[in-house]
Structure formats: C-alpha cells, structure tokens
Amino acid sequence: MKERGSDILKEGDVIHLLSRKGRRYQFQLRSGGKLHHSGEFIPHDEIIGKRDGTLVALSGGSRFIVLRPTLAEYILKMPRGAQVIYAKDIGVILTYADIFPGARVLEAGIGSGAVTISLLRGAGEKGSVTSYEIREDFAEKAMENIKRYLGETGNHRLINKDIYDGIDDGPFDRIVLDLPEPWRVVPHAVDNIRGGGIFLCFLPTIIQTVKVVESLRESDCFTFINTIETLIRHWNIDGRSVRPEHRMVAHTGFITIARRVEKPLS
C-alpha cells in the first residue's frame, strides 16, 4: 500500500486541484507529465516534491491548492462502473461491521471499488479482503480505482464468480454485501463466517431489507440483527446565518448487521 504519512507529494500520488470556488479536479502525478486545465497547464514536476496543501499557479496565472484527496473525496471523483457507497455510509459500515486491523473480510460485489478500498485500509496489511464480482468490466475498473489510490495491495483477491452459487474460501471474520439479493448469500454466510463474526449488507429499499432480515432470522444462526440508516445534515455557519443547510442527501440505503452465533436465544 502507498505510504500516506509523508506530506511531500510524490510521483504516482493522486492529487486534487482546488479552485477558489471550491471545485476539484483530479490528476495522478507522473514525472515528465503536464497537467492541463481550461487552456492552462503546469508540469507535474513543478508539483512533485512540494508539500501537500501547497498553492500553485498554472501557466495563465490561475491559482489552485494542491491536496491529496481523502478517501471520501477520492470516491466522489473516481471513474464508476457501478453506483458507489458514499462516505457517510462507509463510515458506518466500517464501525458496525467492526473492521479491525488483521480482519479477513469477504465482500460482494466489488462495484467501483469504493467499499473495497475502505475495507483494505481497515483490515490493514495483516488482514485480507476477498471480493466476489460477476461483472468483469466493473471488476476491471474497480481494480484500477483501488490501485490508483492504494498502490499495490498483496492482500486483496478478486474472484469473478456469482456469490449466490456459494463461497469457497471461508471462514471469514466479516462479510460485507452490496448486491441486490443478499438473502441468497445467507445460507453460504452461515457456513463461512466464524463464530462471533459479522454479516453486514447495504440495500436501497426496505422491501429488500425485510427479506434479508427474515432470512437471517430463519437461518437460526444470527443474533443482534439490526437495521440502521445514516442521515448527515451539514450546517451553514457564517456570521448571523447559523442554520442547517437547506438541502441534504436524505436517503441512500439501509444497513443491516447480524452476529453469527451457535444459536440465538429465543
């Protein structure tokens, strides 16, 4: 994985150019390359070696701040095959699935790789992430997104397979699902999550959520079955205007979490 501790911008780093109006433009630094924007340019070599957060001027005089994107900012700008899960839900997924350094995590599907990057960071180099995905084109794009942000990851495995047909390589500590019919994974999850392990799925509708909750109950192997959603409301704080923002993202999806046990108490 790329080292992120240093504040010196390096070849291969993904950077955002931030305009005065708060717009962001994403680039990857390549020695010898030229960064073009709105008819102006700056050689990458004038940015490589500078500090994260530095101010630069392009050839026409426009000024920008150069910043390495946070994961949440990167996700918003990365090329997408499938719809991604955004930071507000990823934060909750990481804590409620209790992704710890060293965890063996299974996810499906990989989509655009937003959750994968987050799981890889959470599980760390001592952990591992296995991603099941049926669409090779999505997987390819996701793997590029992951590599661009994290660099080489030796602890990530992609399996081009339909997870509804089964899971081969358990047991896992955690299973994280973002696909349309997670209830079809429940029987395989029973055999492939270790005792005390966690099953988590993200679903856009409550009809799907009810179905997965019922199948978790029927399996008679899970307890603490719990469904939540995340609402984040931004605030405007500017002089006397101190109020919530008028608009918010009201709905993305429902997160259902369950804990694998020998048998739930009835």
Distance, in Å, from the CA atom of 250 to the CA atom of 263, rounded to the nearest integer, reads 36
Q: How many residues bind ligand SAH (CB under 6 A)?
A: 21
Residue from 27, 138, 183, 222 binding ligand SAH (CB under 6 A) = 138
The count of C-alpha atoms lying within 13 angstroms of the C-alpha of 90, restricted to the half-sphere facing its C-beta, is 19
Task: Give least dist CB 84 to ligand SAH, A.
Answer: 4
Near ligand SAH by CB under 6 A: residue from 58, 99, 114, 258: 114
Distance CA 193, CA 259 (A): 9
Q: Is 113 among the residues that bind ligand SAH (CB under 6 A)?
A: yes
Of 27, 64, 132, 172, which lies in the binding site for ligand SAH, with binding defined by CB under 6 A? 132
The gap from C-alpha 189 to its chain's centroid, in whole angstroms, comes to 21
Residues 150-169 that bind ligand SAH (CB under 6 A): 162-164
**Strands annotated E in 38-187:** 40-43, 55-57, 63-67, 104-108, 128-132, 156-159, 172-177
The CA-CA-CA angle for residues 115, 117, 122, to 5°, reads 90
Residue 175 interacts with ligand SAH (CB under 6 A): yes or no: no
CB of 34 to ligand SAH, least distance (A): 31
**How many Å separate Cα 259 from the centre of its chain?**
22
Q: Which stretch binds ligand SAH (CB under 6 A): 22-30, 50-58, 65-73, 110-118?
A: 110-118
Is residue 115 involved in binding ligand SAH (CB under 6 A)? Answer: yes
Q: Identify the residue whose tokens are 């934060």.
A: 91
From the list 197, 23, 178, 26, the residue with the least C-alpha distance to 114 is 178
Residue 122 binds ligand SAH (CB under 6 A): no
- Is there binding between residue 133 and ligand SAH (CB under 6 A)? yes
40 binding ligand SAH? (CB under 6 A): no
**Contact residues for ligand SAH (CB under 6 A)?**
82-85, 108-109, 111-115, 132-135, 138, 162-164, 178-179
